[in-house]
Amino acid sequence: MDSGTEVPEGLNVVHEDEALVVLDKPAGLLSAPGRGAEKQDCLVARALARWPEALIVHRLDQATSGLMLLARGPEMQRALSICFAARDVHKRYEAVVDGCVRGSAEHEDEGEIALPLMADWPRRPRQKVDAQGKPSLTRWKVLARDSVGHQSASNASQTTRLALFPVTGRSHQLRVHLQAIGHPILGDALYADPATLARSPRLLLHACELSLPHPRTGALTIWRSRVPF
């Protein structure tokens, strides 16, 4: 990094080069500005103080923490957007969800969710599963199962820590898919029931790994972020 330019407060820089910047977004911070003066503070606005040419390529939900990629200039924005469109960018998330997640008898610790998604217009910004929606695919793998209060027979008393691999990149995809199969993410103010929402002061969803062919060199590049929960 250029030691002559101070990193703005609230920015955790994971990587910086002439083509792109990778930042670790905290939970609760918008990715890009919204409508109204109270929604102008965001990751991109903070980044512009150090990288005036920074441009957004993808977003994380405000409640989600973790890795976000910014392009340095329009040429790199186009190149990275092509990478995303071609699904050459691979993302890994971790989440803690309500209940005991199990797959099939042959593969109980892994599986996938293939449910079409679309905007729930009367309740924006919520999304919903709908047969008329866009095809959406999430792969998951169990990292740990935890019984709370020694009541392992009660599904409601358990949580499961999952690694999540979104194949498509729909808005709120991971949150809606997990809620749809009966395992909402703890602390999810949009999709969890009140009891599950109350189990965490924040959404327990973190973008912990990001990999892609570097737009300058073509070399596979991987960045990681420690899961804060």
Greatest extent of the chain over all pairs of C-alpha atoms, in Å: 58
Asked if 67 and 137 sit in the same domain, the reply is: no
Does the predicted TM-score (pTM) go above 0.85?
A: yes
5 domain-assigned: no
Range of the domain at 154: 92-205
Which residues, given as ranges, of the chain have pLDDT below 50? Answer: 1-4, 149-156
Looking at the chain, the whole-number percentage of residues with pLDDT higher than 70 is 91
Burial class of residue 207 (count of CB atoms within 10 Å of its CB; 0-12, 13-18, 19+): buried
Q: What is the pLDDT of residue 5?
A: 56
Q: What is the pLDDT of residue 34?
A: 83
4 domain-assigned: no
Asked if 96 and 185 sit in the same domain, the reply is: yes
Asked if 186 and 219 sit in the same domain, the reply is: no
Q: What is the pLDDT of residue 200?
A: 96
Q: Which of 61, 88, 109, 146 is catalytic?
A: 61
Asked if 140 and 102 sit in the same domain, the reply is: yes
- Alpha-carbon distances, residue 59 vs 63, 146, 148 (angstroms): 11, 30, 33
Looking at the chain, the whole-number percentage of residues with pLDDT higher than 90 is 86
125 domain-assigned: yes
Q: What is the pLDDT of residue 35?
A: 82
Q: Where are the beta strands (DSSP E) in the chain?
A: 13-16, 20-25, 54-56, 65-72, 90-98, 110-114, 117-119, 127-129, 137-147, 158-166, 205-213, 220-224
Q: What is the pLDDT of residue 153?
A: 45
Domain count, the chain: 2
| 98 noted as active-site residue | no
Q: What is the pLDDT of residue 63?
A: 97
